[in-house]
Amino acid sequence: MQIRSRLTYQFTYLVSAILFVSYLIIYLFSQQNYQDKFYDRLRQKANTAAELLINVKQVDSKLLRIIDRANRDILYRENIIAYDTCNERIYRSNDSISFHIDVERVKEVRKKKEITYHTGDLEVLGTVFATPEGRIVVFAGAVDQYSAENARDLKNILIALFLLFIFIVIISGWFFAGRAVNPISEVIKQVDQLSPKRLEQRLEPIDSQDEISKMVTTINRLLERIENAFKLQKTFISNVSHELKNPLTKISSQLEVSLLKERGNEDYKSTISSVLEDTQELSAITESLLELNKISISDYQLGFQVHRIDEILWDARSMTQKLHEGYKVHMDLKELPENEELLEIRSDDKLLFTAFKNLMENACKFSPNKVAYVCLTIENQQLKIEIKNEGKGIPASDIPYIFQPFFRSENTAASKGYGIGLSLVERIIQIHNGIIQVQSEPNAWTNFTVIFNC
């Protein structure tokens, strides 16, 4: 079911329920009001008859009966019956119409002073009238013809109004629901026109602050992320193709040259050694890709244990200087807290070791003097590790892309590498719920900052 239809149905059901309850209450109260007015007329007639019968000496029961018959305000099948203090009937206005009244009923009226009841199609009211000789009981009864007719007319009017209003509600609900969902229809049309070939296309913003406007903004942000993902994918494929193509081209060229003519054993050994070196380079690239994918999909956090971050940094420093004789890593750990527990972090020490070793190696590799500076501080319940070097720095335009796999800045083109190390570092830091930041001043320095919560 479409949203427009659902909104129309829900709106119609709600208004129908409200109208039904309202009209039912109106009908019931009106019917009660009609009945109360009818009993008021019966009470008035009973009191008038009793007044004339008791207080006017010239009026006897026969004359009173004549007066009642001449009264134009007589009710349909009206009859008034009076009983004296001895519960004997002393007056009846209509002999052709009678309703049974026993002594118990008369006593009940004397006790309660007024009662109402039904007998057949008659409505009867019994009341007490005080006289100097005592209290007499007067019963007035008649058919409530007008109340029934008015109630029936009111019911027909309310039913007609109910159906009319429901029809109006359905038409107006369909119209306004259409206006409400029209922006959604426009968004759907625009989304249908999106294509991978036109990733820069965005939805037209809506000049309002409602949920549809927020949805359009969210979709545009999603499209922006998708566009960036496609760009990253293209860049990744391009870089991977380039990194794999170079050693393959070298292997192919060397083998083709070797096949051009007969050569000596030394030439073949040299060619085989060169091909083996290129094959090892391909293997290293493949291993790096596998490690990068492993870091991306493995759930390392389940195996985290508590380790001291300063010990991991010392181990990474030692390994960096051991593998590369010319590299120097200076450690600045002077501002360590007295509480050693602040240096502890739940982590995989091997992964963090790999991350810090890569950062230290890069800092030394791209520094003219092959020196890196490491500083560990604690600020605002956060562990902050800074790894800095002096050198060419990183261009501001390259900083957003340095963590992409196989990305190589122009400043690093002359250095050997595959462009995977920083991608690996970033994912390791993310696994540990940390963040990594980069600041660089061209032709001056570069500073990588890693932050963990204590």
Structure tokens at 340: 């050693």
Instruction: State how far the Cα of 35 lies from the Cα of 357, in Å rounded to an integer.
Output: 97
pLDDT of 58 reads: 43
Amino acid at 3: I
Instruction: State how far the Cα of 332 lies from the Cα of 376, in Å rounded to an integer.
Output: 7
The dihedral through the CA atoms of 300, 305, 308, 311 has a sign that is negative
> Is residue 258 one of the residues assigned to a domain?
yes
Question: 352 with 432: CB under 8 angstroms?
Answer: yes
Cβ neighbour number for residue 26 with a 10 Å cutoff? 12
> Is residue 155 one of the residues assigned to a domain?
no
Residues 354, 307 share a domain: yes
How confident is the model over 189-228, as pLDDT tens digits?
888 877 777 777 777 777 777 777 888 888 888 888 887 7
Residues 391, 363 share a domain: yes
How confident is the model over 54-77, as pLDDT tens digits?
765 444 555 545 555 545 557 788
Residues 66, 13 share a domain: yes
Nearest C-alpha neighbor of 417 from the set 242, 296, 271: 242
How confident is the model over 42-52, as pLDDT tens digits?
888 888 888 87
> Is residue 87 one of the residues assigned to a domain?
yes
Residues 117, 11 share a domain: yes
> Is residue 218 one of the residues assigned to a domain?
yes
Question: 453 with 322: CB under 8 angstroms?
Answer: no
Residues 319, 267 share a domain: no
Compute CA distances 162 → 24, 128, 233, whole Å: 11, 44, 63
Residues 140, 31 share a domain: yes
> Residue 45 phi/psi, 5° resolution?
-65, -40
Nearest C-alpha neighbor of 433 from the set 260, 304, 253, 290: 304
Residues 346, 292 share a domain: no
CA triplet 55, 91, 117: central angle to 5 degrees? Answer: 105
Residues 94, 9 share a domain: yes
> Is residue 160 one of the residues assigned to a domain?
no
The CATH number linked to 449 is 3.30.565.10
What pairing do the DSSP bridges indicate for beta strands 114-119 and 122-131?
A: antiparallel
Residues sharing a CB contact under 8 Å with residue 444, sequence separation 6 or more, in sequence order: 390, 393
Residues 310, 262 share a domain: no
Residues 434, 331 share a domain: yes
Query: Helix or strand or coil: residue 346?
Result: strand
Question: 347 with 304: CB under 8 angstroms?
Answer: yes
pLDDT of 191 reads: 80
Instruction: State how far the Cα of 130 lies from the Cα of 400, in Å rounded to an integer.
Output: 104
Instruction: State how far the Cα of 366 lies from the Cα of 363, in Å rounded to an integer.
Output: 6
Q: Where are the alpha helices (DSSP H) in 298-382?
A: 309-323, 349-365
Residues 237, 359 share a domain: no
Compute CA distances 219 → 3, 147, 214, 318, whole Å: 20, 64, 9, 49
Query: Helix or strand or coil: residue 342?
Result: helix
> What's the domain count of the chain?
3
Nearest C-alpha neighbor of 143 from the set 191, 97, 203, 206: 97
- Helix, strand, coil % in the chain, rounded to nearest 5: 60, 20, 25
Question: 405 with 398: CB under 8 angstroms?
Answer: no
- Which of 235, 264, 296 is where one domain is finished? 296
- Which of 111, 126, 150 is where one domain is finished? 150
Which string of DSSP letters, residue by residue, matches 411-449? Answer: GGTTS---S-HHHHHHHHHHHTT-EEEEEEETTTEEEEE
Instruction: State how far the Cα of 361 lies from the Cα of 328, in Å rounded to an integer.
Output: 10
Which string of DSSP letters, residue by residue, matches 224-258? Answer: HHHHHHHHHHHHHHHHHHHHHHHHHHHHHHHHHHH
> Is residue 199 one of the residues assigned to a domain?
no
The CATH number linked to 254 is 1.10.287.130
Instruction: State how far the Cα of 385 lies from the Cα of 372, in Å rounded to an integer.
Output: 13
> Residue 383 phi/psi, 5° resolution?
-85, 125
Q: Which domain holds residue 144?
A: 3-150
Give every residue of the chain whose pLDDT is below 50, as ranges. Answer: 57-59, 64, 70, 297
> Is residue 368 one of the residues assigned to a domain?
yes
Instruction: State how far the Cα of 300 lies from the Cα of 294, in Å rounded to an integer.
Output: 10
Residues 122, 9 share a domain: yes
Nearest C-alpha neighbor of 125 from the set 210, 61, 37: 37
- Which of 150, 171, 188 is where one domain is finished? 150
pLDDT of 276 reads: 85
